[in-house]
Structure 1
Amino acid sequence: MNIEVLENPEQDLIEYLDKKIADFNWANWEVSERTPLAVQIKNAQGEVVAGAAGRTFGDWLLLNTLWVSDELRGQNIGSQILKEIEQAAKKRGCTQCLLDTLNFQAMPFYEKHGYQTQWVQQGYPKTGCKYYMLKAL
């Protein structure tokens, strides 16, 4: 056997390793599917100007992304998007939502909507921190 450290690994290797761990997880996990879920808002030109994306599995919505363009911020758009994706997840049977946010992002926004910080990773990536937040849907 030969162990190599690859400073610039090929994307194919990363995808191969991701697939191998995903295959292992699916063979041993109590749920059999994860289903993507997203909400979007487009402007008159058809460009996405706000949205959210995540996935549902078992009782959970894992919210990966919520973004609102600069021109729409402060107009309650983020709150509307969050409400929509939460409702869609509830229709799929989800009872919990998990997300993470960085210290310069949206922790107060999520707290305003009922999310509670469960754990804080200090020193992420150096001097900042990452908040892991939960909400019962």
Structure 2
Amino acid sequence: MKYLMTDNPKGQDISVILDNLRKYNLSRIELNVVKPLAIFVNDENDNIMGGISAETHGNWLKILFLWIDEKIRAQKIGSKLLKDAEAEAIKRGCKYSFVDTFSFQAKNFYIMSGYKEVFTLEEYPLTSKRHYFVKQLTGDKVTP
């Protein structure tokens, strides 16, 4: 066996690890369909000004990214994207949602959107915190 450490891995090499890990994981769980979900906000020239990227898996919505261009923030666009993604997740059978954010990003946004903090990584990466949240969309309770 050869071991290679690098600070510049090739995307295709990372994909091999990720693809095989997903294949292994999905072969051992009862609901093995992960379905992407994305909603975009475009301006009149079709430039992306914001959006949400997520995936649904069984009972869970996992929010991957939510971004709004600074020029159009404070117009409740993020709230609409989040609500629309949650509504679609409910249609897909989800009962819960999961998201993480840094302390300098959207912690209060998620709290105001009904998310409950379940744990925090301190000093992540050095001076910030990384917050993990869940929300009950429907059905059984999730307790932090």
TM-score (norm 1): 0.94
Whether 1:108 and 2:108 are equivalent positions in the alignment is: yes
Alpha-carbon shift at residue 9 of structure 1 (Å): 2.8
- Which residue is 1:44 aligned to? 44
Give the distance between the partners of 2:110 and 2:71, measured in 1 at CA.
20
Secondary structure at the aligned position of 1:90 is classed as helix
SS in 1 for 2:114: coil
* Structure 1 match to 2:93: 93
- 1:12-65 Cα offsets, whole Å, 9 max, x none, are 221111112111111112212100001111111011112111000100000011
Change (3 A) 1:9 1:68: closer
Moved over 3 A (4+): none
Following the alignment from structure 1 to structure 2, what is the Cα–Cα distance between the partners of residues 95 and 53? 18
SS in 1 for 2:83: helix
* C-alpha displacement of 1:98: 0.1
Please list, as runs of the form range in 1=range in 2, the aligned pairs for 1:9-24 lying within 5 A after superposition.
9-24=9-24
Q: Judging changes above 3 Å, is the alpha-carbon distance between structure 1 residues 11 and 41 closer, same or farther for their aligned structure 2 residues?
A: closer
Aligned mates of 2:39, 2:19 — CA distance in 1: 27
Aligned runs of 1:1-137 on 2, under 5 Å?
Answer: 1-137=1-137
CA offset at residue 2 of structure 1? 2.8
Tell me how far apart the structure 1 counterparts of residues 128 and 51 of structure 2 sit (CA, whole Å). Answer: 25
- What is the alpha-carbon root mean square deviation over aligned residues? 1.2
SS in 1 for 2:130: strand
Counterpart secondary structure, 1:28: coil
Aligned pairs, number:
137
Q: Secondary structure at the match of 1:108?
A: helix
Kindly state the Cα deviation for residue 5 of structure 1 after the two structures are TM-superposed.
2.4
CA distance in 2, matches of 1:82, 1:2: 45
CA distance in 1, matches of 2:12, 2:50: 31
Distance 1:4 1:96, change over 3 A: same
Partners in 2 of 1:56 and 1:22 — Cα distance?
A: 14
Give the fraction of aligned pairs with identical amino acids, expressed as a percent: 32
